[in-house]
Amino acid sequence: MSEKEAAQSKVPENPHRGVETTRVFKLAGGEISARVVADWLDIHEKNKPKARMFHTAYLAEEADPDRPVVFCINGGPGASSVFLHFACAGPMAVPRDANGQFDGANRSLLGNPDSWLSFADLVFIDPIGTGFSHLIEAEPKENEDKTKPKSEDADTNPYWATGKDLDSIGQFMRRFMRQHKLWRRPLYFAGESYGGYRTCRMAKRLHRDYGLGTAGVISISPIWQFRDTSSSDNSTSQWVNQLPTYAAIAHENGIGRHFAKDADMATVLEEAEQFSISDFAQALVAGRLMPAKQSETIWNTVADMMGLDRDFVSSASGRIMMHDYGRMVRKEHGEIVDLYDGSQYSLDPFPHRTSNGEAIENALFHFFHIFQNALHQWYFEELGVETPLEYTLLNFDAFKQWKNDEKELDMFELPSSVEDFRIGMAGNPNMRAMIVHGRFDMVTPYFASKRILNQVNMDARVRERIEERLYEGGHMFYSWPHVNAEFAQDVAEFVSDGER
């Protein structure tokens, strides 16, 4: 290569300084000494580095050669891994109270006794455009006109797309395993929300495209298929999926009328599920083709399960959007419930407004400063990472610009993970799956997973390798300390069962 060609293809110097050090962590099962790696790995396209992916790894010293490695990722799309890292699986955690509320008054970063590090090495991945992960901007060529305006989509991240995103993750995992000489270890992949969509897609891709024989996937509060997010009056699945969650929230908040106040939650969920796939589903599909008296009886039952006014539910034909429901549950108290956990609530800043989507949306972000505080303490004060970048917890540009780059027919294809999951589970007979939810989550309702896994025609030999769990709490059920302890134990048993 000539000097001119070398200059034109030169990759800008890495402005970051990663860290590799050793720390001793106090866990429920005792102390463990681990290497802590907080660094960047280059992601390549056509043998050229195109992005740098930030990650934080905890690798036990003098580890058993069969010790599992669990890669963890959050969702969004556009979310960093900070939530699984500092509230669920990592050895350090943000403070929270017994009811799952993050404690904004306590600025200390605490040890997490229920960290998965007690039974596995951990790698937390920040997708490109989140955390400290970023594109590598190539230096302009000598003959490039710097005054020429960029094209309209020049600033769009090419990795903000279903297929490219999965490729960057697969490439990262393979390069990390190679760099740290972990190829003999059992490999697990855990993801939350859209990260759960990723894990189910990668069930096929990891062993087929990247040569990673995956022992298991852990899908946390996953979204399976985007057709289920439709709020159309002509849709059915979203409302069927949602009703059991609404019934659980109504029962928890004491506004439901269909069940006795002292009814067991398991009974509430079981009856709501059966009603949802029978009478409710039939009424949704039939519309006015159903006799008025029959539909009125069904809408009254739906209203009683939800704890809402019967006339209102009837006029909406049972289709109550979660933003509306989140405000109605505790409206008389001037409070709104969390869409991600209907057992949690906060003051409504605009109680006089008839439409209050802004308050509902912003209720999610009340605790973000707690995570910012935690990551600044850990990366900059404790570990000594150096970078000019700010850590991006949630990238809203990524969320808004995310594309389906795999579709062939633009009008007819919405992303789905169901087919890849089925192919992966059938093609890799040694892989197992753990699908988990919180019962009060309106955003990714648990019944969507339960219904899909029982609806698809899966071979019994595949079905027996899939475990389902439903926990107290919501989307981030692990924010409740006692639930996180239970979840950690379940994951430990899931991983240990896979190594027998």
Other CB atoms within 10 A of residue 306 CB: 26
- pLDDT (0 to 100) of residue 107: 78
Query: pLDDT, tens digit, for every residue of 113-140?
Result: 999 999 999 999 999 999 999 999 866 5
Query: pLDDT, tens digit, for every residue of 420-474?
Result: 999 999 999 999 999 999 999 999 999 999 999 999 989 999 999 999 999 999 9
Other CB atoms within 10 A of residue 63 CB: 17
Cα–Cα distance for residue pair 172/309, rounded to 1 Å: 51
Report which secondary-structure segment, H or E, holds 368. helix 368-376
How many Å is the Cα radius of gyration of the chain?
A: 24
* Percent of the chain predicted with pLDDT > 70: 90
- pLDDT (0 to 100) of residue 10: 57
Query: pLDDT, tens digit, for every residue of 158-176?
Result: 999 999 999 999 999 999 9
Cα–Cα distance for residue pair 31/118, rounded to 1 Å: 9
Domain boundaries, the chain: 8-141+153-226+370-498, 234-366
The helix, strand and coil proportions of the chain, stated in percent and rounded to the nearest 5, come to 40, 20, 40
CATH code assigned to 8-141+153-226+370-498: 3.40.50.1820
- pLDDT (0 to 100) of residue 137: 81
Cα–Cα distance for residue pair 34/25, rounded to 1 Å: 8
Model confidence band, residue 79 (pLDDT cutoffs 50, 70, 90): very high
Residue 490 has pLDDT above 60, yes or no: yes
Taking the alpha carbons of 305, 311, 317, 323 in that order, is the dihedral positive or negative? negative
- pLDDT (0 to 100) of residue 16: 87
- pLDDT (0 to 100) of residue 149: 45
Predicted TM-score (pTM) of this structure: 0.91
Q: What is the dihedral of CA 73, 76, 80, 81, to 10 degrees?
A: -30
- pLDDT (0 to 100) of residue 106: 76
Contact 442, 325 (CB under 8 A): yes
Question: Residue 290: CB partners within 8 Å, gap ≥ 6?
Answer: 282, 283
The full DSSP string for 303-337 is: HHHHT--HHHHHHTTT---HHHHHHHTTGGGTEEE
Distances (CA, A) of 341 to 189, 217, 489: 24, 24, 22
Query: pLDDT, tens digit, for every residue of 193-224?
Result: 999 999 999 999 998 999 998 999 999 999 98
